[in-house]
Copies of this chain bind each other. A is one copy, B any other.
Amino acid sequence: MGPGPINADPRVLRAMSAQLVGQYDPAMTGYMNETMELYRQVFKTRNRQTLLVDGTSRAGIEAAIVSLVSPGDRVLVPIFGRFGHLLREIAERAGAEVHVIEKEWGQVFTEAEIASALRSVQPKLLAVVHGDTSTTVAQPLEGLGELCAKHGVLFYTDVTASLGGNPFDTDALGLDAVTAGLQKCLGGPSGSAPATFSPRAVEVIDSRKSIEAGIASSADEVHATRIRSNYLDLAMIFDYWGEKRLNHHTEATSMLYGARECARLLVEEGVDAAVERHRVHGAAMLAGVQGLGLATFGDLSHKMNNVVAVVIPDGVNGDAVRGELLEDFGIEIGTSFGPLHGKVWRIGTMGYNARKDAVLTTLAALETVLRRQGAAVVPGGGVDAAYQAYASSVVDTSADEGSAA
Contacts of A183 in B (CB 8 A): 250
**Does A181 touch B at the CB level, under 8 Å?**
yes
A21 CA / B1 CA spacing, docked (Å): 11
Residues A250 and B181 in contact in the complex (CB < 8 Å), given A17-B17, A59-B54? yes
Asked if A86 meets B230 with Cβ closer than 8 Å, knowing A13-B19, A54-B56, A55-B54, the reply is yes
User: Are A255 and B253 interface neighbours, CB within 8 A?
Assistant: no
Given contact pairs A229-B62, A249-B58, A253-B5, A191 touches B189 in the complex (Cβ within 8 A): no
Instruction: Tell me if A93 and B229 are in contact (CB < 8 A).
Output: yes
**Does B227 lie within 8 Å of A93, measured CB to CB?**
yes
Q: Give the number of chain A interface residues (Cβ < 8 Å).
A: 59
Give the chain B neighbours of A90 by CB distance below 8 A. 230-231
Let me know if A89 is at the binding interface, CB within 8 A: yes
Q: Name the residue of chain B whose CB is nearest to the CB of A8.
A: B20
Question: Which interface residue of A8, A90, A337 has the most chain B CB atoms within 10 A?
Answer: A8
Take A183-B250, A229-B229, A337-B247 as given contacts and tell me if A22 and B55 are in contact as well, using a CB distance cutoff of 8 Å: no
Given contacts A20-B7, A56-B252, A247-B337, contact A231 B191 (CB under 8 A): no
Which residues of B sit under 8 angstroms from A228, Cβ to Cβ? 93-95, 228-229
A326 within 8 A of B: yes
Copies of this chain held together in the complex: 2
Kindly state the separation between the CA atoms of A229 and B61 in the bound complex, as whole angstroms. 11
Q: Check if B55 sits within 8 Å of A55, measured CB to CB.
A: yes
Write the chain B residue with the least CB distance to A91.
B230
Map CB proximity to B onto A63-90 as digits: 1 under 8 Å, 0 otherwise. Answer: 0001000000000000000000010011
Q: What residues of B have a CB within 8 angstroms of the CB of A59 in the complex?
A: 54-55, 59, 231, 249
Q: Bound state CA distance, A248 and B83, in angstroms?
A: 11
A58 with B230: in contact, given A17-B17, A191-B191 (CB under 8 Å)? yes
Residue of B nearest to A232 (CB): B231
Residues of B within 8 A of A181 (CB): 250
Q: Which residues of B contact A56 (CB under 8 A)?
A: 54, 231, 249-252
**Considering only CB atoms, which chain B residue lies closest to A335 in the complex?**
B24
Residues of B within 8 A of A254 (CB): 8, 13, 16, 189, 191, 254-255, 258
Contact B20 A6 (CB under 8 A): yes
Q: Which residues, 308 to 349 on A, are CB-close (under 8 Å) to B? A: 326, 332, 334, 337
A131: CB under 8 A from chain B? no
* Bound: A227/B66 CA distance, A: 13
B250 touches A89 (CB 8 A): no
A247 to B, closest residue via Cβ: B337
Best-surrounded residue of A10, A21, A190, A228 (most CB of chain B within 10 A): A190
Across-interface contacts of A252 in B (CB, < 8 A): 55-56, 189-191, 255
Cβ proximity bits A17-42 to B, threshold 8 Å, 1 near / 0 not? 11111110100000000000000000
A171-195 Cβ-contact flags toward B at 8 Å (1 or 0): 0000000000101000001110000
Query: What is the bound-complex CA distance between A189 and B258, given in angstroms?
Result: 13
CA distance A231 to B231 in the complex (A): 11
Q: Which 10 A-B pairs have the closest CB atoms?
A: A191-B252, A17-B17, A189-B254, A190-B250, A55-B55, A56-B249, A22-B332, A13-B17, A62-B231, A58-B249
**25 pairs of residues in contact across A and B, judged by CB atoms under 8 Å:** A5-B20, A5-B23, A16-B254, A22-B332, A25-B326, A54-B55, A55-B59, A57-B250, A58-B230, A58-B249, A59-B249, A62-B229, A90-B231, A93-B229, A94-B228, A181-B250, A183-B250, A189-B254, A190-B249, A190-B250, A190-B251, A191-B252, A191-B255, A231-B232, A254-B255
Query: A17-B17, A56-B249, A191-B191 provided; 6 other pairs, C-beta below 8 A?
Result: A8-B254, A22-B334, A55-B59, A58-B230, A94-B228, A189-B252
